[in-house]
Amino acid sequence: MQEQAEMLCKKVGYHSAGTVEFIADNEQNFYFLEMNTRLQVEHPVTEEITGLDLVREQIRVAQGFPISFTQESLQINGHAIEARIYAEDPANEFLPATGEVLAWQMPAAPEVRLDSGVAPGSRVSVNFDPMLAKVTAHALTREEAALRLALALERMRIQGVITNRDFLITTL
């Protein structure tokens, strides 16, 4: 997959951060889906397992600088899983939820990455995307990353607006 993604980028002359997506079957066959010439919402997963700051890289490329790493220099370290906390009601067909965030606090442990602009007092309305946060856990194995993420979500304090947090914990 990596070779095919690299070949595609070279063919179209693409020289920035982006995502080439494939779908794979049980027999290790894979098929091209799409190429996104922007950061995906899941980019924290890539940042966690590579140690790179992809937002910084895109800004540097926009300023005319080359990417600061090569494909050959990339090293993958462990596994990362991202969950998205949405203001939505899983018990009501995942319909959007609105209200004021009364409490919003991540636990001190386990350590996870939180990407969010929400704080106590934030108002959630139907005028914006209902995603409140992305929480990403990194560990040596996929199982450890899933357990770390589930524990962090379980210990996370959210009050005032209905979210999909419990659904995510059950799924993990």
**Is 163:92 a contact under the CB 8 Å cutoff?**
no
Q: Looking at the chain, how many residues does it have?
A: 172
DSSP string computed for 84-115: EEESEEGGGTTEE--EE--EEE--SSS--EEE
**Hey, CA dihedral for 70, 71, 75, 80, is it positive or negative?**
positive
- The torsion angle over the Cα atoms of residues 19, 129, 56 and 2, rounded to 10 degrees, is -10
Catalytic residues: 38
**Is 101:117 a contact under the CB 8 Å cutoff?**
no
| Helix or strand holding residue 18 (H, E) | none
Q: How far apart are CA 60 and CA 34, in angstroms?
A: 24
Q: Smallest Cα–Cα separation from 51: which of 138, 111, 112, 135? A: 138
